Amino acid sequence: MTAPEPLSGLLVADFGRVLAAPYATMLLADLGADVIKVEHPATGDDTRAWGPPHAHGESTYYLSVNRNKRSLTLDLRAEADRRRATELVRRADVLFENFRPGTMDKYGLGYDRARALNPRLVYCSVTGFGPGAGAALPGYDLLIQAVGGLMSVTGTAPGEPVKTGVALVDVLAGVHAAVGVLAALRHRDATGEGQHVQVDLLSCLLSGMVNQAAGYTLAGKVPGILGNRHPSIAPYEVFRAQDRPLVVAVGNDRQFTALCQGLDAPELAADPRFATNSGRVAHVDELALQLGELLRTRTAADWYDRLTPLGVPCGPVNDLAQAFDLAERLGLAPRATVTAPDGTPMDLVANPIGLSGTPPRYDTHPPRLGEHTEEITAWLDSRTPAPTTPWSTR
Q: How many CB atoms lie within 10 A of CB 100?
A: 15
Query: Among 3.20.20.140, 3.40.30.10, 1.20.140.10, 3.30.1540.10, what is the CATH number of 236-328?
Result: 3.30.1540.10
Task: Give counts: helices (H), strands (E), the chain.
Answer: 16, 13
Contact (CB, 8 A) for 204 and 169: yes
**Confidence at residue 2, expressed as pLDDT on a 0 to 100 scale:** 64
Separation in Å, CA 154 to CA 20, 209, 222, 329: 22, 11, 13, 31
Which of 105, 170, 243, 325 does the annotation list as catalytic?
170
Instruction: Cite the residue boundaries of each domain of the chain with CATH code 3.30.1540.10.
Output: 236-328
pTM over 0.85: yes
CATH of the domain spanning 11-208+333-393: 3.40.50.10540
CA–CA distance, 194 with 237 (Å, rounded to integer) = 46
Nearest Cα to Cα of residue 319 among 259, 229, 244, 258: 244
Phi, psi of 362 (to 5 degrees): -125, 90
Would you give the DSSP letter of residue 364?
A: S
Phi, psi of 99 (to 5 degrees): -75, 170
**Confidence at residue 387, expressed as pLDDT on a 0 to 100 scale:** 47
**Confidence at residue 76, expressed as pLDDT on a 0 to 100 scale:** 95
Q: Is 170 a catalytic residue?
A: yes
Pairing of strands 94-97, 122-127: parallel
Helices 168-191 and 201-208 sit at what angle, rounded to 10 degrees? Answer: 100
Per-residue pLDDT tens listing for the chain (394 residues):
567 899 999 999 999 999 999 999 999 999 999 999 999 999 999 999 999 999 999 999 999 999 999 999 999 999 999 999 999 999 999 999 999 999 999 999 999 999 999 999 999 999 999 999 998 888 999 999 999 999 999 998 888 999 999 999 999 999 999 999 999 999 999 999 999 999 999 999 999 999 999 999 999 999 999 889 999 999 999 999 999 999 999 999 999 999 999 999 999 999 999 999 999 999 999 999 999 999 999 999 999 999 999 999 999 999 999 999 999 999 999 999 999 999 999 999 999 999 999 999 999 999 999 999 999 999 999 966 554 443 332 2
Contact (CB, 8 A) for 121 and 94: yes
Instruction: Cite the residue boundaries of each domain of the chain with CATH code 3.40.50.10540.
Output: 11-208+333-393
CA–CA distance, 336 with 361 (Å, rounded to integer) = 9
